[in-house]
Amino acid sequence: MADIVSLREAVAAHVHDGDTLALEGFTHLIPHAVAHEIIRQQRRHLHLVRMTPDVAYDQLIGSGCVTRLTFSWGGNPGVGSLQRFRDAVENEWPHPLEIEEHSHAGMATRYAAGAAGLPFGILRGYIGTDLPNHTTTIKTVECPFTGEVLAAVPALNPDVGVIHAQRADRHGNVQIWGLLGVQKEAVLASARSIVTVEEIVDELPPVAGAIVLPAWVVSAVCLVPGGAHPSFAMGFSTRDNAFYKAWDPISKDRDAFTAWIDKHVIGTADFAEYRESVGF
């Protein structure tokens, strides 16, 4: 059953050095505040999993929290490269980053298998590409009825699934709407889960397109308004496209990056202070 606690408490209780973490969000509802708290609490040797690692993961990688990344698309959406990710892969800064690379369809299949308690999932994928030559977690399986050969990928079952959502009620039932990405799968596939929300209400009002994750599949719910910034929460905020563009020059330069993290993340006590310091 979900505990409603501060983000500091949730990260301290559920995120440990060496854990496999999935902070999911498909452009929408990216749990940036949790990434910042993980940097503040200086977690190390994390294995990060995500379909679309973007600025939040760039910050975790550049801050030296990450030794391994499993992903399918690592970029700054609509802007270009993920500079800290590139620097880690190309120049091993701040240290080497081991990568496990898939396609979106493969990662989605892996999360779905994880949520469903299956050891693997199947898809029509990867065939004819160079990915299987470099990624050991892509194999094949033969259809016992047609003999067709399909791609097989192992289930993803992170230690901690982390998402940002619009709302929770006081029991910890979580309501999400708009682009849903793989957030439900990430929570259900993980042993533990942290959900930051824009607001906590007495009753979840019906919302078109919304799904509800019952409190008993969530470990911790934290009230963190704006916790997705520069990503957004439909109904509460819009995507801060200017921030994504501004991130490119900051992240291109190691010193500029470090100064930014020191000032806005390490130098702030929590996400509320971060909001003041970056001014949104």
Partner 1 sequence: MADYTTDELMIVNAARQLGELAASGHGQCFVGIGLPSTASNLARRLYPIAPVLIYESGCIGSKPTRLPLSIGDGELAETSDAVVSVPEIFAYWLQSGRIDIGFLSGAQLDKFANINSTVIGTYESPKTRLPGAGGAPEIAASAGAVMVIMRQSARSFVERCDFRTSIGYGDGKGDRERFGLRGGGPKWVITDLAIMEPDPDTCELVVVALHPGVTREQVIAATGWAVRFAGDLKTTAEPTDVELHTLRALQAA
The residue within the footprint of partner 1, chosen from 3, 100, 101, 248 (CB under 8 A), is 101
Minimum CB distance to a copy of itself, residue 121 (Å) = 8
Q: Pattern of binders to a copy of itself over 202-221, x per CB under 8 A?
A: ----xxxxx-----------
Site for a copy of itself in 13-52 (CB under 8 A): none
In 3D space, the residue among 30, 26, 29, 102 whose CA is nearest the CA of residue 60 turns out to be: 30
Compute the distance between CA of residue 194 and CA of residue 249 in angstroms, rounded to an integer.
Answer: 31
Instruction: Kindly list the strands in the beta sheet with 139-142, ordered across the sheet, starting from the edge strand earlier in the chain.
Output: 120-123, 149-154, 139-142
**Is residue 143 close enough to count as binding a copy of itself by CB under 8 A?**
yes
Cα four-point dihedral sign 173, 176, 180, 181: negative
Minimum CB distance to a copy of itself, residue 151 (Å) = 10
- Which residue number, 16 or 68, has a Cβ lying nearer to a copy of itself? 68
The residue within the footprint of partner 1, chosen from 22, 39, 51, 66 (CB under 8 A), is 51
Minimum CB distance to partner 1, residue 272 (Å) = 24
**Is residue 118 close enough to count as binding a copy of itself by CB under 8 A?**
yes
- DSSP β-bridge partners for residue 175: 167, 212
The residue within the footprint of partner 1, chosen from 9, 42, 98, 116 (CB under 8 A), is 116
Compute the distance between CA of residue 24 and CA of residue 256 in angstroms, rounded to an integer.
Answer: 26
Q: How far is CA 178 from the centre of its chain?
A: 17
**Is residue 180 close enough to count as binding a copy of itself by CB under 8 A?**
no
Residue 26: CB partners within 8 Å, gap ≥ 6?
51, 52, 179, 180, 181, 182, 183
What is the binding site for a copy of itself (CB under 8 A)?
Answer: 117-120, 122-124, 137, 139-146, 148, 150, 152, 154, 206-210
